């Protein structure tokens, strides 16, 4: 969307190009809203995205929500864990 915006608002672009950007942005915003609603993530809780089993497949594991009591601490912990995981991957065999 950022590159689309840059193109739409370029001084050499047609004067109606921003209208196209706003239309596409509204469509993208609606799709993002639907995807977030499907994932189940909210400000105070999170859960893995639900997976539907195909006919004949065994049902998936039950999905449990995780309460988020301190979003800032949770994010910092996630970043620290991710950095450590990436460092361990860099130190591994090549």
Report field, pTM of the whole predicted structure over 0.85: no
Q: Is the pLDDT of residue 84 over 70?
A: yes
Q: What is the maximum span of the chain, computed from C-alpha positions, in angstroms?
A: 57
pLDDT in tens, 23-35: 999 999 999 988 8
45 pairs with which residues across the strands?
67
Sign of the CA dihedral with 31 first, then 37, 39, and 44 last: positive
Helical ranges in 9-70 per DSSP H: 17-39
Measured distance CA(82)–CA(59) in Å, rounded: 30
Q: Residue 94 has what pLDDT? A: 53
The region of weakest confidence among 20-29, 33-42, 44-53, 68-77 is: 44-53
């Amino acid at each position: 969307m950022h590159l689309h915006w840059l193109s739409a608002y370029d001084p050499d672009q047609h004067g109606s190009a921003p209208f196209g950007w706003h239309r596409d942005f509204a469509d993208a915003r609606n799709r993002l809203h639907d995807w977030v609603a499907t994932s189940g993530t909210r400000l105070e809780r999170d859960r893995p995205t639900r997976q539907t089993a195909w006919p004949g497949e065994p049902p998936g594991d039950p999905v449990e929500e995780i309460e988020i009591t301190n979003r800032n601490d949770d994010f910092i912990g996630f970043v620290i864990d991710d950095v450590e995981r990436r460092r361990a991957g860099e130190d591994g065999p090549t």
